[in-house]
């Protein structure tokens, strides 16, 4: 059976490039909007779309992850599953909207803020639900190009219209409406693709089905809640226990590391459908070979990047923030960047476990990881401030990697054969090279030299060979092994 690395590579690349495009556009557009609106009005605008995100967990309840797995394993039932998902998620979205509107009414925000938030609520909890329903089908069918096009189309429209509206004298509400228009454009495009590919929903869900669906989706829902909390718990605790200055120093580094996770997210999303198919077809040899190939590339990508950024952390921080007050962020970056190789491996293991129906265990361990992170922050932040928060974060990632690795080997009863010694040797040699030239070569040139040096090493040591490159270019119907 084909490993189909071509499809994985293509979809991973689409996901990474789309995220890079989104980040670049967002930096420039948000910067322009912030400058034109001023801090007060810009704060209202951000709040308009941040507030409904709190209720988005209710609107999803883990159904997106649940149906990605279901549709991937049963593509012939796509329209039926789509019908179930639309009905259930729209129902949950209505509940989430009512809760959000009720909570908004209880606040003392001014009328223009409430209007903006109402627009944000409808965009995030209704339009975004319709969009992600379509994305679920696209991902399950490995058509990531449709997700990318919908995102890029929306971003371009938002960028152009936001600038135009502000130049014409529009204010915060006008920009909020522009962003809402971006959501509507995505809905229209996604609906068009669903019709074109004949994936429109068939509504046949019964009351008896609902309880079973929610029971199976519960682990995905809890995992979503834990993930949502994990994104903010360290920053919240740091702010409360060490002050806003410490939070600013920490966030300057952690935001860079969080953006780097788009690599592991894109690869894991691309790998997941193929793993589900292998497990469903009881082709565990194919499953194992896929895991070995992907994990090798994750190590080859993550470890040298972490090393390089560790050495050039000072230059990177000062280049991005251009302010000496952010120098303490360098040590935070040098700690947190090692979450990248850990997350690259850990996330693939996590998706593999979900593919073999171990999502309950994954959720339990992730919840334990979140509890461990809270405990470590309580212990380390009072004494070490932002550095303590960084050590708590990476310790949690190490814990999750360890437990997921153990669970993977116990569940699948198979090992992973990788050229560990040669990869370690290559990174050790890279470490020596960085030690020699990091202080003598301009940092951007040093990064390029380091990447090239490591790549040549891996080819010379036979870790990467012609077979690997051919597997990326081979057609899906050709066999690699």
pLDDT digits (tens, 9 = 90+) for 152-193: 999 899 989 988 988 888 888 898 999 999 999 999 999 999
Average pLDDT over residues 218-244: 79
Kindly indicate the confidence band of residue 105, based on its pLDDT and cuts at 50, 70 and 90: confident
Helices (H), 106-206: 111-122, 128-140, 144-167, 172-196
HSE-up of residue 347 (Cα within 13 Å, Cβ side): 23
* 30 in Cβ contact with 36 (< 8 Å): no
pLDDT of 473 over the 80 cut: no
Distances (CA, A) of 105 to 56, 57, 177, 319, 480: 18, 20, 20, 43, 59
To the nearest whole number, what is the mean pLDDT of the chain?
83
pLDDT of 419 over the 80 cut: no
**Most confidently modeled of 2-16, 222-236, 461-475?**
222-236
pLDDT at residue 205, rounded to an integer? 65
Rounded to 5°, the CA angle 393-394-398 comes to: 125
Kindly indicate the confidence band of residue 207, based on its pLDDT and cuts at 50, 70 and 90: low
pLDDT at residue 323, rounded to an integer? 72
444 phi, psi to nearest 5 deg:
-65, -40
pLDDT at residue 58, rounded to an integer? 85
Instruction: Give dist(CA 300, CA 344) in Å, integer.
Output: 10
Q: Which of 120, 128, 60, 50 is nearest to 92 (CA)?
A: 60
* 430 in Cβ contact with 457 (< 8 Å): yes
Burial of 232 (0-12, 13-18, 19+ CB in 10 A): exposed
Kindly indicate the confidence band of residue 477, based on its pLDDT and cuts at 50, 70 and 90: very low
Average pLDDT over residues 71-99: 89
pLDDT of 2 over the 60 cut: no
Q: Which of 117, 334, 359, 2 is nearest to 216 (CA)?
A: 359
Q: Which of 133, 145, 146, 131 is nearest to 188 (CA)?
A: 131
Average pLDDT over residues 330-345: 91
pLDDT at residue 333, rounded to an integer? 92
Average pLDDT over residues 253-273: 80
pLDDT of 264 over the 90 cut: no
Give, rounded to a whole angstrom, the gap between the first and last alpha carbons of the chain.
7
Largest Cα separation within the chain, whole Å, is 69
Instruction: Give dist(CA 219, CA 62) in Å, integer.
Output: 7
pLDDT of 434 over the 80 cut: yes
Per-residue model confidence as pLDDT tens digits over 123-148 = 988 998 999 999 999 988 888 899 99
461 phi, psi to nearest 5 deg:
-85, -5
Q: What percent of the chain has pLDDT over 70?
A: 93
Q: Which of 57, 60, 47, 56 is nearest to 104 (CA)?
A: 47
Instruction: Give dist(CA 458, CA 371) in Å, integer.
Output: 39
pLDDT of 234 over the 50 cut: yes
Lowest mean pLDDT among 56-65, 266-275, 283-292: 283-292
Instruction: Give dist(CA 334, CA 339) in Å, integer.
Output: 10
Torsion from C-alpha of 3, 7, 8, 12, nearest 10 degrees: 170
Higher pLDDT, 223 or 161: 161
Average pLDDT over residues 348-355: 88
Per-residue model confidence as pLDDT tens digits over 366-416 = 899 999 999 999 999 999 988 999 999 999 999 999 999 888 888 877 666
Gyration radius of the chain over CA positions: 23
pLDDT at residue 4, rounded to an integer? 59
pLDDT at residue 475, rounded to an integer? 52
Q: What percent of the chain has pLDDT over 90?
A: 20
Q: Which helix (H) or strand (E) holds 31?
A: helix 5-50
Average pLDDT over residues 198-219: 79
């Amino acid at each position: 059976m084909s490993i189909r690395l071509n499809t994985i590579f293509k979809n991973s690349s689409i996901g990474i490039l789309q995220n890079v495009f989104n980040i670049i556009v967002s930096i420039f557009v948000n910067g322009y909007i912030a400058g034109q609106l001023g801090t007060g009005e810009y704060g209202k605008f951000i709040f308009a779309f941040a507030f409904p995100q709190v209720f988005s967990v209710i609107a999803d309840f883990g159904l997106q992850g649940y149906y990605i797995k279901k549709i991937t394993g049963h593509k012939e039932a796509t329209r039926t599953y789509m019908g179930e998902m639309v009905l259930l998620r729209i129902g949950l979205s209505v509940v989430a909207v009512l809760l959000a509107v009720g909570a908004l009414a209880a606040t003392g925000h001014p009328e223009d803020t409430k209007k903006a938030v109402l627009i944000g609520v409808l965009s995030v909890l209704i339009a975004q639900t319709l969009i992600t329903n379509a994305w679920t089908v696209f991902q399950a069918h490995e058509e990531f190009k449709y997700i990318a096009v919908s995102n890029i189309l929306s971003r371009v429209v938002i960028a152009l219209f936001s600038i135009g509206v502000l130049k014409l004298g529009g204010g915060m509400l006008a920009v909020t409406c522009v962003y809402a228009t971006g959501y509507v454009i995505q809905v229209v495009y996604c609906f068009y693709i669903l019709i074109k590919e004949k994936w429109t929903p068939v509504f046949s869900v019964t009351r008896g089905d609902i309880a079973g669906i929610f029971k199976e989706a519960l682990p995905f829902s809890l995992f979503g809640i834990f993930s949502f909390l994990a994104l903010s718990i360290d920053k919240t605790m740091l702010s409360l226990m060490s002050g806003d200055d410490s939070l600013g120093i920490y966030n300057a580094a952690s935001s860079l590391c969080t953006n780097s996770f788009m690599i592991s997210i894109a690869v894991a999303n691309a790998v997941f459908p193929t793993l589900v198919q292998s497990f469903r077809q009881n082709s565990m040899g194919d499953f194992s070979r896929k895991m070995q190939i992907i994990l090798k590339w994750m190590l080859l990508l993550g470890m040298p990047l972490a090393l390089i950024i560790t050495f050039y952390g000072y230059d990177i921080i000062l280049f991005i923030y251009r302010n000496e007050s952010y120098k303490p962020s360098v040590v935070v970056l040098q700690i947190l960047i090692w979450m990248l190789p850990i997350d690259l491996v850990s996330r693939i293991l996590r998706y593999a476990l979900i593919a073999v129906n171990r999502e309950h265990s994954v959720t339990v361990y992730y919840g334990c990881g979140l509890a461990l992170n809270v405990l470590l922050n309580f212990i380390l932040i009072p004494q070490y401030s932002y550095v303590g928060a960084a050590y708590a974060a990476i310790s949690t990632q190490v814990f999750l990697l360890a437990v997921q690795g153990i669970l993977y080997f116990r569940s699948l009863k198979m090992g992973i054969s990788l050229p560990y010694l040669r990869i370690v040797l290559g990174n050790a040699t890279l470490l020596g090279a960085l030690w020699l030239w990091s202080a003598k070569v301009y940092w951007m040139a040093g990064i390029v030299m380091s990447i090239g040096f490591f790549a040549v090493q891996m080819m010379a040591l036979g870790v990467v060979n012609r077979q690997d490159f051919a597997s990326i270019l081979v057609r899906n119907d050709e066999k690699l092994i």
